Amino acid sequence: MNTARRITSNFLSLATSEVISKVLQLIIFIYMARVLGKEDFGVFSFGLAFAFLIVITADFGLSTLLIREISRNKKSASKYLSNAFVAKILLSIITFLAAYLFLNILEYSSEVRIIAYIMLLFTVVQSFTDLFSSIFKAFERMHYDAIIKILRMFILIIAIIYLLKNWYGLFASSLAFLFTELFVLIITALVVYSKFIRLSFEFDYGFSKKLLKKSALFCLSLVFTSLFMFIGSIVLSKIRSTTEVGIYSAAANIMIALVFIPMMYGNAIYPVISRFYITSKKSLKFAYERSFKYMLMLGLPISSGIFIFSDQIISIFYGIEYSEASIVLAIISWHLFLRFLNVVSGFTLSSINRQGSRAFSQGIAALSNIILNLILIFLYGLIGAAIAAVITEIIFFFTYIYFIVKYGLGIKFIRLFIRPVIATVIMLFSLSFIENLVIAIIFGALIYFTTLFIIGTIDKQDMIIFNKVIKNI
């Protein structure tokens, strides 16, 4: 249970930071959307989506690779970090050249290009922060990562509110993201070098080449993941307008704020299941089964609740100007549920050195997403983008499950679904009599988890794990 204790401790650290940082992030985006309006917020949203999509070239999967490799061999942490750092500098130069070509060839306006360049600078700097943060995760000291994330968002929200309240506008707000991240990068680097590893400027060409070769599949995974996360905004900006990008992003930001739940769990368990692949295949399969079950139990009711109350959620957060976003939110709520499950399967494939299969699955999903976006956005606009996102996640789910079963980690998937679905149906029926959103959230959660307990979804093994984990916290 020491393993369970570590997972729980890391999960709680990540949970605390993610809840705080994602709430603050959502507040920032909501405030920007309300003050800037649909058009300027659309320009900002495009710039951010474009930056997150193309910055993958600068990261090249190195941050993810370092977590896995250093968790297995902590003595080599300094060598991995220093070589990855130098490699990322060269990759960042290539990234900016690619961005310049893309934005100019597609003839985006000067305002859109400027904001996109600023946001790209922000994401590149953040990718260096993530590189240093990989040390925290590999050493399973997630509380450092948690503190950094909270610090980032507190500085950013103060800066954004001050700038927009004093009418400095979109340009200054975009710069706030960049300068905040520069400060955070410095702090993160200082913590890493003072607490974990010695300062080193070591560069080994042969080692770096091998590092990039190993990270290439992680990079492919990130490219494909980013494509189906952000390609909708890119296509919308050309086929429709940046205004529709703003409306779509208003709904998507709510989903992004909630994806932290499976992501923080995946980040907490990733170093552990990477070790299980070496030490105990039985423990690995057990960890995957329980992880899949818990994400299913959490994701299904959240998506269902958002689907039912999408109108109220958009109205409360963004106001009448963004009313069109409610139908988008209702549709992509089911994307969120599937994301809960896919994150667990994705981390598991990477932990067993099957990132090639993970990349293949993501490639199929990304290609499908591009085709679906081009067709559906042309026909239905932002609603088409939402439909494309859900269909893509379904394709993603089944390709992941295929490989999970192929590599001997198959579990009783259908059986795991039955009871949470029953509990969700009962919850939704109960909520049909409630109009107040806050009361619905509290009452719905109570009904759902009570039903899970009554019908035996939470079994004896779950209670044993829960009790022992609580005692060891």
Q: Could you read off the pLDDT of 164-223 as tens digits, one per residue?
A: 988 888 999 999 999 999 999 999 888 888 777 776 667 667 777 777 777 776 776 677
Range(s) of the domain holding residue 72? 2-411
Is residue 473 scored above 50 in pLDDT? Answer: no
Q: What is the pLDDT of residue 388?
A: 92
Q: What is the pLDDT of residue 5?
A: 59
Is residue 3 scored above 60 in pLDDT? Answer: no
Tokens representing residue 312 in the block: 């109220």
Task: Note whether 212 and 333 are same-domain residues.
Answer: yes
Percent of the chain with pLDDT over 70: 89
Average pLDDT, the chain: 83
pLDDT tens digits, one per residue of 207-217: 777 777 777 76
Of 392, 411, 430, the residue that ends a domain is 411
Q: What is the pLDDT of residue 214?
A: 74
Is residue 159 scored above 70 in pLDDT? Answer: yes
Is residue 140 scored above 70 in pLDDT? Answer: no
Q: What is the pLDDT of residue 32?
A: 92
Task: Note whether 157 and 257 are same-domain residues.
Answer: yes
Q: What is the pLDDT of residue 74?
A: 66
Q: What is the pLDDT of residue 466?
A: 64
Task: Note whether 297 and 361 are same-domain residues.
Answer: yes
Residue with the bigger pLDDT between 374 and 362: it is: 374
- pTM of the complete model: 0.76
Q: How many domains does the chain have?
A: 2
Is residue 409 scored above 50 in pLDDT? Answer: yes
Task: Note whether 150 and 283 are same-domain residues.
Answer: yes
How far is the C-alpha of 161 from the C-alpha of 139, rounded, in Å? 36
How far is the C-alpha of 310 from the C-alpha of 406, rounded, in Å? 38
Of 363, 386, 411, the residue that ends a domain is 411
Task: Note whether 401 and 430 are same-domain residues.
Answer: no
Is residue 387 scored above 90 in pLDDT? Answer: yes
Task: Note whether 256 and 303 are same-domain residues.
Answer: yes
Of 368, 393, 411, the residue that ends a domain is 411
Is residue 43 scored above 80 in pLDDT? Answer: yes
Task: Note whether 342 and 453 are same-domain residues.
Answer: no
Q: What is the pLDDT of residue 465?
A: 61
Task: Note whether 39 and 108 are same-domain residues.
Answer: yes
Task: Note whether 35 and 85 are same-domain residues.
Answer: yes
Section 411-422 average pLDDT: 85
Q: What is the pLDDT of residue 464?
A: 67
pLDDT tens digits, one per residue of 48-82: 988 988 888 777 777 777 777 676 766 776 777 77
Any idea which of 112-116, 125-129, 453-457 has the lowest mean pLDDT? 453-457
Q: State how far Cα 228 lies from the chain centre.
A: 12
Q: What is the pLDDT of residue 10?
A: 61
Task: Note whether 312 and 424 are same-domain residues.
Answer: no
The one-letter amino acid code at 201 reads F
Task: Note whether 399 and 441 are same-domain residues.
Answer: no
Q: What is the pLDDT of residue 8?
A: 61
Section 105-122 average pLDDT: 90
Q: What is the pLDDT of residue 240?
A: 85
Q: What is the pLDDT of residue 282?
A: 79
Section 232-256 average pLDDT: 85
Q: For residues 80 and 66, is the Cβ–Cβ distance under 8 A?
A: yes
Task: Note whether 357 and 450 are same-domain residues.
Answer: no
